[in-house]
Amino acid sequence: MALHLVEATFKNTVIDTKEAFEQKVSALKDAVQEDNINLIEVQVAKDFSRSFFIFESEDEAVLTSSLENKDLSVELVKAVRIVGKDLEEVKKQSEEVNYLVEWNIPENITMDQYLDRKKKNSVHYAEVPEVSFSRTYVCEDMSKCLCFYDAPDEDAVKRAREAVNTPIDSITEIASDK
């Protein structure tokens, strides 16, 4: 089964609390399992304006169709791979993240180049000990990646990205239980 990043919002629903969001996600998770689709992870912006889902599915078209039939307005679906964490660790959902960094990868970078660069530069996260890097989802088409962090504030995330010499296209504060 392949992993897919889905950026989407719930249709016809105003969500303004984490509890309301979690109720919608729970219903969605149960509904997509009927289509042999597994929800691995979901993160939502602190203001509930954007949602980032990671699904495990055999077929991207089936995934997209299933989601659109289940009260989601799908904005993006991309095959991804996880870097920095084992998928089984992520499934346990034991780690807290509170910032998401999106980076649109330049066209000339291959997956192997990206992975080599990440391995070489990731040791520099130690220079910003207040930030904990968790994981990255890299789009298989090398268009973008999403990196998850636990950090005291946005400035700390920016310092961590500078330490590993990697740009930021956007930072989203994630709704967390902190």
Cβ atoms of 94 and 147 within 8 Å: the answer is: no
Structural domains in the chain plus CATH codes: 2-173 (3.30.70.3090)
Amino acid at 47: D
The pTM of this model reads: 0.92
Per-residue pLDDT of the chain (178 residues; tens, 9 = 90+): 899 999 998 887 788 888 889 999 999 999 999 889 999 999 999 998 899 999 999 999 999 999 988 878 899 999 999 998 888 888 887 788 999 999 999 999 999 999 999 999 999 999 999 999 999 999 999 999 999 999 999 999 999 999 999 999 999 999 876 5
The whole-number pLDDT of residue 177 equals 66
| Other residues' Cβ atoms within 10 Å of the Cβ of residue 72 | 20
Q: List helix spans (H) across 34-110.
A: 60-68, 87-92
Contact assessment for residue 160 and residue 168, using Cβ atoms and an 8 Å cutoff = no
